[in-house]
Amino acid sequence: MRFGSRLHEAMDARGRICVGIDPHASLLHDWGLDDDVAGLERFALTAVEAIAPEVSVVKPQSAFFERFGSRGVAVLERVIADSRAAGALVLLDVKRGDIGSTSQAYADAYLDPASSLASDAITVSPFLGFGSIEPMIDTARRHGAGVFVLALTSNKEGPEVQAARTPSGTVAGDVLARLAELNAGATPMGDFGAVVGATIGSTDEPLDFNGPVLAPGFGAQGGTVADLRRIFGGAVRNVLPSSSREVLAAGPDLRALRAAARQANEAVATLGEA
């Protein structure tokens, strides 16, 4: 089954919240854990045990595992495997962007089922030109996976590139137009999504491109349901709000983590309604 169909089914069955698994050193400390591989493993696998059975999507941030080298990546492999075994889709937040054979190597690492890091979808950066991510797009198609392309991020530096003018509008607008082309005719939605921050305020860019939208920044970072409705309008039906700190702060208690995940899901439950 294609990623867009799997995601649509998962959101219907398990709710639309995406929970990030981001083992910040500060969060490890808050959980009473050391900032080492043992602490990383305890944190990440506890979060997966509590959260993955409750939500449609988990989003591990690869950098927080990679900082521990090969042993950290081994923990990430377990996070991916255990999350999928619990029924959650895994959106691996890697934000890779390169050209040619290197772009293909990233695609093989994260989207080919033969890889121990294979995930249901990944985040990518198109800012070397949209064509530079075509190996990832093609590999996702081949394996029924998804790709979320950075478009309108909420970091203050983002507009330097994303709002830059092009012959047809803006860089962000061009990215969204390319996604619309990739998703044309797909039902219930396409496999190729955009990353649009839940705290960008507003935008005139067309966000209804028949694909999923990852909206990081919901919850502790300030994004609200009202913000999502205002920003996305009719496209809000395909929005996957992402929350990390607000849920993870409930740990290390398993019951508290589960309750926080359920509460986040309930907070965005009405987004799919007309």
pLDDT digits (tens, 9 = 90+) for 202-259: 899 999 999 999 999 998 788 899 999 999 999 999 999 999 999 999 999 999 999 9
- Using the predicted structure, report yes or no on whether residue 15 has a pLDDT greater than 60: yes
Contacts 24+ apart (CB under 8 A), 152-160: 152/194, 152/195, 152/196, 152/197, 152/200, 152/203, 152/205, 153/195, 153/196, 153/197, 153/200, 154/197, 154/198, 154/199, 154/200, 154/216, 154/217, 154/221, 155/197
Percent of the chain with pLDDT over 70: 100
In this predicted structure, what is the pLDDT of residue 172? 98
pLDDT, the chain, mean:
96
Q: Which of the residues 78, 84, 95, 141 is marked catalytic? A: 95
The C-alpha R_g of the chain, in whole angstroms, comes to 17
Question: What is the helix, strand, coil percentage profile of the chain, to 5?
Answer: 50, 20, 35
- Closest residue by Cα to residue 149 from 133, 138, 167: 133
In this predicted structure, what is the pLDDT of residue 274? 55
pLDDT digits (tens, 9 = 90+) for 173-197: 999 999 999 999 999 999 999 999 9
Q: What is the pTM of this model?
A: 0.97
156 is catalytic: no
Q: Which amino acid is at 242?
A: S
Cβ atoms of 14 and 266 closer than 8 Å: no
- Using the predicted structure, report yes or no on whether residue 11 has a pLDDT greater than 70: yes
In this predicted structure, what is the pLDDT of residue 248? 97
In this predicted structure, what is the pLDDT of residue 219? 83
- Number of domains the chain contains: 1
In this predicted structure, what is the pLDDT of residue 272? 75
The Cα 98–Cα 100 span in angstroms is 7
**The tokens of 2 are what?**
């294609």
**The tokens of 28 are what?**
């490890």
> How confident is the model over 100-121, as a mean pLDDT?
98
CATH code of residue 35? 3.20.20.70
C-alpha to C-alpha distances, 235 to 20, 25, 89, 169, 208, nearest whole angstrom: 22, 36, 21, 20, 5
- Type and span of the H or E element at 13: helix 3-14
Q: What is the number of alpha carbons within 13 Å of residue 143 lying toward its C-beta?
A: 22
pLDDT digits (tens, 9 = 90+) for 150-175: 999 999 999 999 999 999 999 999 99
The residue segments making up the domain with residue 198 are 3-272
Q: Is 139 exposed, middle or buried (0-12, 13-18, 19+ CB in 10 A)?
A: buried
